[in-house]
Amino acid sequence: MSMRLGYDLTIEQTQKLVMTPELIQAIQILQFNTQELDSYVQEQLLTNPVLEQGASAPGESQEHGEQESGSREDAAPEKNDQDGEIDWKEYLKDRQYDDISYRQWEYKDPEEKENSYEQYTTYDVTLPEHLMFQLQFASHKRGCRNVGRYIIESLDENGYMTLSVEEIAKVTSVPENKVEEVLDIIHTFDPAGVGARNLKECLLIQMEHKGLLTEEYELVINEHLEDLAANRLGAISKSMGIPVKEIQEMADVIKSLEPKPGRQFASQTDTRYIVPDVLVERVDDDYVVTVNDSSTPHLMVSSYYEKLLTEAEKDSNLSKYLTDRLNSAVWLIKSIDQRKQTIYNVVKAVVKYQKDFFDKGSKYLKTLTLKQIAEEVGIHESTVSRSINGKYLQSPMGVFEIKYFFSGGVSGDQGEGISSKSIKSFIKEIVDNEDPKSPHSDQDMVKMLKDKGIDISRRTVAKYRDEMNILSSSKRRRY
């Protein structure tokens, strides 16, 4: 049997999806959160002179997607089916622009700019700044101030030492006993416990500040801190020969101390604020979804460059450049409008499905998947995922990331889905209302949840309890 090698010319018809640059841009814009979209738009404003950014007028927020899409039907001409390009010259002739209807820019006197509270942010004092202020009144010796400044600057964000006394003495060329003296001065600073080398020292410093440090407290902190954390009060009582009730009182005092004294001060990293993308308001017995226009840029095509295109008939290169820029600008504007429309449709479907949550609270949050919303809206699951990525929703119940409403769970006795977040709310309620001397075990919680129509295993209860940082029944017990 012989095999023949050769070339054949065949014709076949296939279908495949081609990702055009415009489609890739639309997908990116849908996935951007508010900050990323604003940065992207600023880049486009720098690279595309045809684009202009205008201020949104009050009341322009989109309450219904149909109204928004209808109000922009005349924003740009339809594309030619043959070449996919817009004939801007014919479009501009039809609109009959006059010479008075455009302006390239408008000068505004910065002195006349209206001040508002939104232009200002609060200033929070950081831990090093707070300690430096106290240091200048603590010692008049220059050498002590230099050592103290070095110690303060070496503290971590929780207020603990990150360097040893030997290392500080070597760097500052100061004897170790002098470093110890300066460190003792810092231990008297506010907040109490700052400058400690470990948790035990931090707690001892705070007890001394309160004037409550006794030999018994010192022994419990130095020798039985792990037993205290595990609520093994009986073992501590047996070791120290003190009644369990007294150990319980001592434990309550120690647990009231601050293990991280520096966390009450502002972080030295940038503070990030959340701007909700969607607003949900209650009107009578229904909820109205509004896309927050202030979180999305308001773009328009510069009328100056539209007029310039009509005058560029003799220069083919300029005409081609302006046409490309105009097409790019219109596509960007349409992509942003489509993003708003998609977010509106998705959130509207979510609010409709989770109405019990907005009416009654987190205990009534239902299970929800991307597939359910995709089928409701008529889009792909990946589109739903992109539309909720990094987006936030403001409602009468508070501000939530839209992903919060998508969670798994279990089925109730009526067949409805119960979200894991709802189950956690029930578990927290059980723990808050239990008798501290006889806390409920995980198996007890299983029975109590079953009475509420929630069939769940003990292992799952333990998992949810750990996720909420709730201790086991043995560690929650009080004597």
Residue 38, exposed/middle/buried by CB under 10 A (0-12, 13-18, 19+)?
middle
What b-and-e string marks burial along 108-130, b requiring 16 or more CB atoms within 10 Å of the CB? eeeeeeeeeeeeeeeeeeebbeb
Rounded Cα–Cα distance for residues 434 and 444 (Å): 11
Average pLDDT over all residues of the chain: 79
- pLDDT tens readout for residues 201-239: 999 999 999 988 889 999 999 999 888 888 888 888 888
Rounded Cα–Cα distance for residues 263 and 190 (Å): 13
Rounded Cα–Cα distance for residues 92 and 173 (Å): 78
Percent of the chain with pLDDT over 90: 12
Percent helix, strand and coil across the chain, each to the nearest 5? 55, 10, 40
pLDDT at residue 74 above 60? no
- The helix (H) or strand (E) run that includes residue 47 is helix 34-47
Rounded Cα–Cα distance for residues 15 and 8 (Å): 22
pLDDT at residue 98 above 90? no
Most confident of 25-34, 47-56, 72-81: 25-34
- Find the mean pLDDT for residues 5-15: 80
β-pairing, 392-395 with 278-283? parallel
Most confident of 102-116, 259-273, 321-335: 321-335
- Find the mean pLDDT for residues 293-321: 76
Lowest pLDDT segment from 20-24, 138-142, 271-275, 320-324: 138-142
The conformation of residue 471, written as its DSSP 8-state character, comes to: P
- pLDDT tens readout for residues 333-372: 888 889 899 999 999 999 998 888 888 887 788 888 888 8
Which domains does the chain show, CATH number per domain? 23-74+86-96+271-407 (no CATH), 127-264 (no CATH), 408-479 (1.10.10.60)
pLDDT of residue 66: 44
Tell which wins on pLDDT, 35 or 154. Answer: 154
- pLDDT tens readout for residues 156-173: 888 999 888 899 888 888
- pLDDT tens readout for residues 384-393: 898 888 889 9
How many angstroms separate the Cα of 105 from the Cα of each of 45, 52, 53, 83, 108? Answer: 14, 10, 11, 34, 10
- Find the mean pLDDT for residues 311-323: 75
How many angstroms separate the Cα of 56 from the Cα of each of 53, 154, 236, 355? Answer: 9, 48, 67, 31
* Sign of the torsion angle spanned by Cα atoms 129, 131, 132, 133: positive
- Find the mean pLDDT for residues 283-309: 81
β-pairing, 398-401 with 409-411? unpaired
